[in-house]
């Protein structure tokens, strides 16, 4: 925090920034590799694809690619980001519930993996894989699969639970006739070689995720028996490892999940199936921090309120669903030095954002060192889904994002040196005007 202040990343003219710990991201990627390397049979093809929606920032995708991690994309925009980061087609997986025919065609032409969501999408793939008219051989597709909803139930956050009975994703496996339909669909399509299940994200217990993976595995076994060969050669187990937002501890870890999978679905790792994972939050959350200035400190109805520059435009889910998305907040003085608690102990206060609605609060009645105008607050564990899921309320600009690394330091009085690199420039006012129809200024007057 001190270095961010000293090096001018945050100040009166840039009152909020996002910071990303490059070493932390690398360490998370290494953990992921190590955890699954320990359980898969030697030689098993493994693709870890980062869910781009968790941090849709090209330099982050590039850093992860350097660590051998690909991309899971769910829109043409996310695909464009993955390609801009130089991620190879073989390392990209396209999942999305509403892919258009043009998107499917592009994916097939590029040779990226596609997981179809439903029977209608599969029918579109039929037409693309084997064009009905026109000469020439069928297009050489990348790996194609089908997403199933194992309907194993939801976690503690309904909006992020994708394996409930009525979830909108995938083919609902327990619905009457669905399983037979799926087996038949694979029997009739020798090119359909993958099954995909993503049970949910934050709030889903590991046991629930593992139960969903087991359901997908058992279905793959049934299909392969029915067709008499290893037609399904790869299982895509999705992402969803929950993140601990309550402390610095990384729990659960990838190893906990990989070992649970080994116990629950041993056949998954015996070498017959390639593996795809799609983790997002767990790769980035702990490596990100939002740092924001306290513009004013006031009081209302006896409640101290710090008005900061980080609110719903950045911490959208935290503001609108605070029970599901609590964040730790830490306090610093204007130089970025951690504020000590005063002699009377911490002060319960609201930490508010800059948006013009009353509910724009990232913390309510939170005990903290008393915040003053000019102080800084940090929102911890915000590396995933905070820098990429902004909200354009009040036309607030998207803040600049910087990666950092620390060299030297350690014992004695020697301080480490912090180097920053830009990840995303702060949004300019011109850009806000441009994305708000600036070029069409007179359009309505002329109608």
Ligand X SMILES: *Cc1c(COP(=O)(O)O)cnc(C)c1O
**Residues catalogued as catalytic:** 356
Q: Does 155 bind ligand X (CB under 6 A)?
A: no
- Beta carbon nearer to ligand X, 198 or 366: 198
* Closest of 2, 10, 3 to residue 293, by C-alpha: 10
Calpha distance 4→171 (Å, rounded): 48
* Closest of 124, 15, 147 to residue 74, by C-alpha: 147
Q: Does 354 bind ligand X (CB under 6 A)?
A: no
Q: What are phi and psi of 373, to 5 degrees?
A: -55, 135
Residues 6+ apart with CB under 8 A from 342: 369, 370
Q: Does 141 bind ligand X (CB under 6 A)?
A: no
**Contact with ligand X (CB under 6 A): which of 48, 91, 189, 198?**
198
* Closest of 311, 309, 312, 303 to residue 365, by C-alpha: 303
Q: Give the shortest CB-238-to-ligand X separation in angstroms.
A: 4
Q: What are phi and psi of 395, to 5 degrees?
A: 50, 40
Q: Give the shortest CB-241-to-ligand X separation in angstroms.
A: 6
Q: Does 142 bind ligand X (CB under 6 A)?
A: no
Binding mask 104-123 for ligand X (x = CB under 6 A): --------------------
User: Which residues, 62 to 81, sit near ligand X by CB under 6 A?
Assistant: 72
**Contact with ligand X (CB under 6 A): which of 36, 186, 279, 420?**
279
Q: Does 361 bind ligand X (CB under 6 A)?
A: no
**Contact with ligand X (CB under 6 A): which of 35, 51, 185, 312?**
51
**Contact with ligand X (CB under 6 A): which of 95, 117, 121, 333?**
95
The answer to whether the CB of 167 falls within 8 A of the CB of 211 is no
Helix residue ranges, H only, 196-295: 206-227, 254-264, 281-284
The answer to whether the CB of 240 falls within 8 A of the CB of 194 is no
Q: Does 280 bind ligand X (CB under 6 A)?
A: yes
Calpha distance 193→42 (Å, rounded): 21
Tell me which residue has its CB nearest to ligand X.
280
Q: Does 287 bind ligand X (CB under 6 A)?
A: no
Residues that bind ligand X (CB under 6 A): 51, 53-54, 72, 95, 198, 201-202, 238-241, 278-282
């Amino acid at each position: 925090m001190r270095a961010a202040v000293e090096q001018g990343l945050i100040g009166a003219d840039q009152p909020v920034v996002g910071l990303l710990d490059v070493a932390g991201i690398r360490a998370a990627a290494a953990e992921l590799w190590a955890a699954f390397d320990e359980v898969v049979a030697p030689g098993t093809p493994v693709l870890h694809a980062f869910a781009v929606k968790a941090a849709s920032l090209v330099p982050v995708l590039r850093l992860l690619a350097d660590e051998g991690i690909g991309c899971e994309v769910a829109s043409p925009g996310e695909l464009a980001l993955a390609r801009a980061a130089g991620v190879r087609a073989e390392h990209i997986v396209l999942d999305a519930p509403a892919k258009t025919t043009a998107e499917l065609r592009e994916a097939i032409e590029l040779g990226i993996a596609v997981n179809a969501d439903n029977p209608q999408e599969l029918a579109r793939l039929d037409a693309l894989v084997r064009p009905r008219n026109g000469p020439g051989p069928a297009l050489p597709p990348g790996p194609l699969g089908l997403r199933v909803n194992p309907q194993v139930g939801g976690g503690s956050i309904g909006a992020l639970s994708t394996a409930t009975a009525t979830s909108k994703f995938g083919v609902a496996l327990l619905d009457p006739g669905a399983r037979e339909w799926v087996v038949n669909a694979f029997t009739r399509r020798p090119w359909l070689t993958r099954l995909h299940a993503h049970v949910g994200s934050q709030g889903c217990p590991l046991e629930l995720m593992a139960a969903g993976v087991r359901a997908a595995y058992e279905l793959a076994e049934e299909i392969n028996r029915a067709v008499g060969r290893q037609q399904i050669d790869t299982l895509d187990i999705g992402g969803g490892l929950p993140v601990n937002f309550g402390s610095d501890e990384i729990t659960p870890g990838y190893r906990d999940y990989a070992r649970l999978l080994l116990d629950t679905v041993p056949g998954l790792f015996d070498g017959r199936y390639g593996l795809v994972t799609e983790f997002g939050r767990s790769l980035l959350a702990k490596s990100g921090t939002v740092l924001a200035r306290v513009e004013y400190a006031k009081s209302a109805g006896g409640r101290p309120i710090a008005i900061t520059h980080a609110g719903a435009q950045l911490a959208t889910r935290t503001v609108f669903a605070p029970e599901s998305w609590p964040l730790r907040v830490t306090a610093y003085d204007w130089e970025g030095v951690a504020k000590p608690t005063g002699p009377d102990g911490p002060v319960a206060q609201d930490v508010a954002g800059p948006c013009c609605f009353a509910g724009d609060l990232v913390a309510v009645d939170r005990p903290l060192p008393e915040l003053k105008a000019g102080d800084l607050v940090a929102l911890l564990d915000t590396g995933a889904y905070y820098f990429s899921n902004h909200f354009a309320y009040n036309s607030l600009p998207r803040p600049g994002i910087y990666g950092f690394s620390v060299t030297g330091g350690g014992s004695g009085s020697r301080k480490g040196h912090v180097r920053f690199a830009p990840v995303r420039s702060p949004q300019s006012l011109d850009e806000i005007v441009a994305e708000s129809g600036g070029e069409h200024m007179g359009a309505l007057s002329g109608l």
